[in-house]
Amino acid sequence: MMADGRVAFCGKQDSAERFWSELGRPLPRNFNPADHYISSLSTKNPERSGHRSSKTKAAIETPFKAICDIFDQSSYGQKVWMEAKSYVRELPDPSDMPLTFDQQWKGSTRAQAGYRFSRFHATWFNQFRALFWRNTRTVLREPTLLKVQLLQSVVIAVLNGIVYLGNSYTQDKVANINGSLFLLVTNMAFMFQFVVVNHFCSEISTFYREYSSGLYSVSAYFMAKNLAELPTYTLAAVMFGSILYWMSRHFPLWDAFGFYLLIAVLVQNTAISIAYAVGCVFGSVSTAVAILPIFVVPMMAFGG
């Protein structure tokens, strides 16, 4: 335990209980030891606010700096100090220490032959397998979110399909077909991008920490995350496209319907990739959500 950068106690739990009793602050009965010790070491001592027992009121009021001084001079502190000094004496001389792995690698024949040194402890496939399993469990852990996404796709598709319900194949209805197709592109872009940005920015700090620790590479993380979430997004796109296609009375041909769904899935994945890119560049949910339409709207306007 430390207070203000100084060691207040270091040892076993029973030793801590005896040390605090010697300070005149015995551990109250049925009281959490950690809370009792921390309250004694805190700068603003909660025991002075009146919330204390009669035994604690009669105890000696010792500031946290005095507790650190007493520990330094006590037998507990001297024991820790001697153990630390003996550990330092046992450390080998740096000149006598063996070469590190990096030094051994630089002088090895494999390094001279052109083999690359990997900073990751596992192979790329093992990284991908572990990340894919974790991301899949994350998706399955929130079934309510999956149901909400599918319900959202169905409701929006039905509302859009009502607008183009009962189209006929006449010359004056051709513009409605183009409008329905553009509506598909619009919904595939905006309906999933903001969800991806919110979810990705919430875990980007975890990615930075784990990547800096050498747990996995960027490519393994990207591929595992995309493949784990691909079935969910693809199912939502297929449900949306199927409802809108048949309610809008497009051409009743299976090859045309399959090509229609393929375009919907490709547009959806393109929009998700843009959301990933914006989330990586800005990192903040509020900034990414504000900047995202600047990238999406020009692509929709000039994308044909």
pLDDT, one tens digit per residue, over 128-137 is: 999 999 988 8
Residues 39 and 145 in one domain: no
Residues 207 and 285 in one domain: yes
In terms of Cβ atoms closer than 10 Å to its own Cβ (0-12, 13-18, 19+), residue 62 is middle
In terms of Cβ atoms closer than 10 Å to its own Cβ (0-12, 13-18, 19+), residue 215 is middle
Q: Which residues pair with 3 in a beta bridge?
A: 6
Residues 128 and 81 in one domain: no
Q: pTM for the full model?
A: 0.57
pLDDT for 85 equals: 67
Q: Please indicate, yes or no, if residue 106 is contained in any of the structural domains.
A: no
Q: Which of 90, 108, 139 is the last residue of a domain?
A: 90
Residues 248/161, Cβ–Cβ less than 8 Å? yes
pLDDT-wise least confident of 42-51, 121-130, 198-207, 219-228? 42-51
Q: Kindly tell me if the per-residue pLDDT of 291 is higher than 70.
A: yes
Residues 155 and 15 in one domain: no
Q: What is the mean pLDDT of residues 238-253?
A: 86
Q: Please indicate, yes or no, if residue 111 is contained in any of the structural domains.
A: no
Write out the DSSP string of 167-220. Answer: --SSGGGHHHHHHHHHHHHHHHHHHHHHHHHHHHHHHHHHHHHHHHTTS--HHH
Q: Please indicate, yes or no, if residue 213 is contained in any of the structural domains.
A: yes
Determine the Cα–Cα distance for residues 281 and 204; give it in Å rounded to an integer. 11
Residues 169 and 273 in one domain: yes
Q: Please indicate, yes or no, if residue 144 is contained in any of the structural domains.
A: yes
Q: Into how many domains does the chain fold?
A: 2
Q: Kindly tell me if the per-residue pLDDT of 46 is higher than 50.
A: no
Q: Kindly tell me if the per-residue pLDDT of 101 is higher than 70.
A: no
**Phi–psi pair at 6, nearest 5 degrees:** -115, 155
Determine the Cα–Cα distance for residues 15 and 45; give it in Å rounded to an integer. 23
DSSP H/E element including 89: helix 75-90
CA distances from 266 to 17, 34, 185, 200, 260 (A): 65, 56, 10, 20, 10
Q: Please indicate, yes or no, if residue 117 is contained in any of the structural domains.
A: no
Residues 63 and 169 in one domain: no
Write out the DSSP string of 129-179. Answer: HHHHHHHHHHHHH-HHHHHHHHHHHHHHHHHHHHHTTT--SSGGGHHHHHH
Residues 287 and 157 in one domain: yes
Q: What is the mean pLDDT of residues 246-272?
A: 88
Residues 192 and 150 in one domain: yes
Q: Which of 278, 82, 254 is nearest to 197 (CA)?
A: 278
Q: Which of 69, 101, 91 is nearest to 4 (CA)?
A: 69
Higher pLDDT, 185 or 47: 185
pLDDT band at 98 (very low <50, low <70, confident <90, very high): low
pLDDT for 41 equals: 79
Q: Please indicate, yes or no, if residue 253 is contained in any of the structural domains.
A: yes
Residues 26 and 152 in one domain: no
pLDDT band at 65 (very low <50, low <70, confident <90, very high): confident
pLDDT for 49 equals: 45
Q: Please indicate, yes or no, if residue 112 is contained in any of the structural domains.
A: no
Range of the domain at 228: 124-301
Residues 219 and 294 in one domain: yes
Amino acid at residue number 84: A
pLDDT for 60 equals: 42
